[in-house]
Amino acid sequence: MKFDTPAKDNPIDQLNVVGQPHDRIDGRLKTTGTAHYAYEWHNEVANVAYGYVLGSAIAKGHINSIDLQAARNAPGVLTIVTAENAGPLGKGEKNPAKLLAGPTIEHYHQAIAVVVAETFEQARAAAELIKVDYRREQGVYNLAEEKPAVTTATEEEPDKSTGDFASAFAASAVQFDATYTTPDQSHMAMEPHASLASWEGPKLTLWTSNQMIDWCRSDLAKTLKLAKENIRVFSPYIGGGFGGKLFLRSDALLAALGARVAKRPVKIALQRPLIANNTTHRPATIQHIRIGTDNTGRISAISHESWSGNLAGGPSETAVQQTELLYAGANRHTGLRLAKLDLPEGNAMRAPGEAPGLMALEIAIDEVAAKVGIDPVEFRILNDTQVDPANPERFFSRRQLVECLRTGADHFDWKQRNAKPAQIRDGRWLVGMGVAAGFRNNLVMKSGARVHLDAQGIITVETDMTDIGTGSYTIIAQTAAEMLGVPLEKVVVRLGDSDFPVSAGSGGQWGANSSTAGVYAACVKLREVVANKLGFDPQQALFSNEQIRTGDRSAPLKEAAATGTITVEDDIEFGELDKQYQQSTFAAHFVEVGVDIATGETRVRRMLAVCAAGRILNPKTARSQVIGAMTMGVGAALMEELAVDTRLGYFVNHDLAGYEVPVHADIPVQEVIFLDDSDPVSSPMKAKGVGELGLCGVSAAIVNAVYNATGVRVRDYPVTLDKLLKGLPELI
């Protein structure tokens, strides 16, 4: 199905099942331990061996030699795979560095060997016996030191300019110029990267934890130099990804290599210290923002430049993209700068680009509002735009930022906020409120599905879509149930198998909207087949209560499959509506904090997110996504930071003991409001993504609340005690 004109009325609009707050149909499996995650496939293959990955102890240099003798002679060891005996390997398109290094080392904890043994404990003990002689080279690990030398645009993202920013800024009545920093951050999903690999002749089967089945399969085929058809990938349940499992990683490759050499199925889970350095992370940024306004507060000039670092061939952190579209202003400039660093690979982490970009922009907007003397909510409303500022002929398909801000301000009782900082006391706590806009572009991807109808009236949906805790099983079942007029219990959903049609996968906030649109397309085709088989006009037939009807005539749906299961397959392919309309999602985040006047300890007291993200397919699962994102925003604002050893080039706090994330005690009651919305330009579902929008802007709202509470403005994340103490009012 080609989607190239805005959606009209269709069966989804009935909202009998779609749009309702159904429980997750995979919830019971996960809470009872019967949903198998990647390391928990115990009965699919026999005689499984265990692998343990050895990561490089240096960040840059060469391996002079590896002494494997003691490890090979250790109890239970079956084989040890290194670059020397792995056979010729390619490199996937999405991996800047090799997943198995040797002799060149590109980053710390880059995998250099995998020990395969009868038990995990034997593999781990043997790995400790491997002796590696390295030749360390000087690396580049400090973004701040490299920033002055990197002043040109990246090749993939050239600078964008509209009007004459320099002249307009110089002539502005109010000028603001500041620099902000965000740190390296880790996904820190509870489930580690894990894989089980098994060979049958030339064919490989991989059970793994990966958000994008087809990406994983394609890059594994290129790396192993196999035909893609000889690889089957399973990933039906994922225990958290946040972008860290978008791509092929070393656990999958090394499980496959270990199994090939050992001639046994091999299971590998990356040990926690390796995950931060061996996989991917969100890169640090240095962001320079300049804003000019007239005396009434209208933005006339806005510039946002961001520096980030990565390995050669790695992407930049696109932290300026929201600034191109969020606020009006005739004279604009955005630019990305990419430094080559020898730190581990930087790549997508939940809401890449907008999450760190809004951490800076939405503080800057607050600072300008204060400088002009306008309430920060009203300042944002004053500078709203309904068109792409760089292309005024291109309207937003739907834009409800003002409604988000107004609704949130009323619900949060924003009028009680004291505009003068450090005025509200509650015992030892200084109390303040903060606001920030949320923005995330709406992305869509081609997505396919296969749908079966059997003689019992059961609908089975198959697609390689994944569920990373987002509720994919449930919204896909809701879509099929709505389209075919059956109860939710009559729908079976099978996900995460590369033998199924290729879907959008889970990432970039495109998964829910795109994958359900693919199911919609397949169900449209199934409706046509069923109608024709039973003698109904497909254009007039109604599907409800497990019946198909036209006028006074009806027939049971299952009757169409009485002589055999009906199977159809289709996909949704998106046209060029995104060129005609700007498609984005919007939010307003409101936060109240308390800051201890003596210690600088910050406690979030209450949080509210008001979201406009098209049709909400399931309010219950969508709310879970948003409050989870809000929680991540608390971490980014107050505690999360990968500490870089700038001498040796690695992340020091590479485990959950040293890398702090929010816990239940850090999070207050969270409220989420979804504005009534549907966007026919987005897809037949008229939905958009929402899971990453819930993070975008949260951290800035917290920092703005801290400023309102204390009068201390922090521009370097995270806002830790040491950054507040010197500026806190004297204890009375």
* Residues recognised as catalytic: 692
Q: With CA atoms as reference, report the closest residue to 506 among 196, 219, 190, 242.
A: 242
Looking from the CA of 379 toward its CB, the CA atoms found within 13 Å total 24
Q: What is the distance between the alpha carbons of residues 5 and 417, in angstroms, rounded to a whole number? A: 45
> Which whole-number Å values give the CA distances from 719 to 332, 517, 548, 634, 703, in the listed order?
29, 41, 59, 10, 7
Pairing state between β 285-293 and 174-182: antiparallel
Q: With CA atoms as reference, report the closest residue to 169 among 335, 300, 320.
A: 300
Between CA 287 and CA 294, with CA 290 as vertex, the angle to 5 degrees is: 155
Does an H or E element contain 319, and which? none
What torsion, rounded to 10 degrees, do the Cα atoms 257, 261, 266, 271 define?
-60
What DSSP character marks residue 396? B
Q: With CA atoms as reference, report the closest residue to 275 among 635, 642, 638, 664.
A: 642
Q: With CA atoms as reference, report the closest residue to 217 among 498, 606, 479.
A: 498
For residue 63, report the phi and psi dihedrals to the nearest 5 degrees: -90, 120
CB 39 within 8 A of CB 267: yes
User: Please, what is the angle between helix 698-710 and helix 354-372, to 10°?
Assistant: 30
Exposure pattern of 577-612 as b/e (b: 16+ CB <10 Å)? bbeebbbbbbbbbbbbbbbbbeebebebbebbbbbb
Return the structure tokens found at 7.
């959606």
Q: What is the distance between the alpha carbons of residues 467 and 493, in angstroms, rounded to a whole number? A: 11
What DSSP character marks residue 541? -
Return the structure tokens found at 500.
């199924």
Q: What is the distance between the alpha carbons of residues 157 and 160, in angstroms, rounded to a whole number? A: 9
Q: What is the distance between the alpha carbons of residues 307 and 341, in angstroms, rounded to a whole number? A: 12
Q: What is the distance between the alpha carbons of residues 273 and 285, in angstroms, rounded to a whole number? A: 23
Q: What is the distance between the alpha carbons of residues 720 and 595, in angstroms, rounded to a whole number? A: 11
> Which whole-number Å values give the CA distances from 294 to 172, 332, 366, 368, 377, in the listed order?
6, 15, 16, 11, 18
Q: What is the distance between the alpha carbons of residues 97 and 220, in angstroms, rounded to a whole number? A: 14
* 3-class SS of residue 159: coil
Q: With CA atoms as reference, report the closest residue to 243 among 214, 193, 194, 281.
A: 281
CB 589 within 8 A of CB 517: no
Under 8 Å CB-to-CB from 465, ≥6 apart: which residues? 447, 449, 472, 476, 495, 496, 503, 504, 505, 506, 511, 515, 518
Amino acid at 635: G
CB 219 within 8 A of CB 95: yes
Q: With CA atoms as reference, report the closest residue to 526 among 612, 462, 604.
A: 462
503 burial via Cβ count (<10 Å: 0-12, 13-18, 19+):
buried
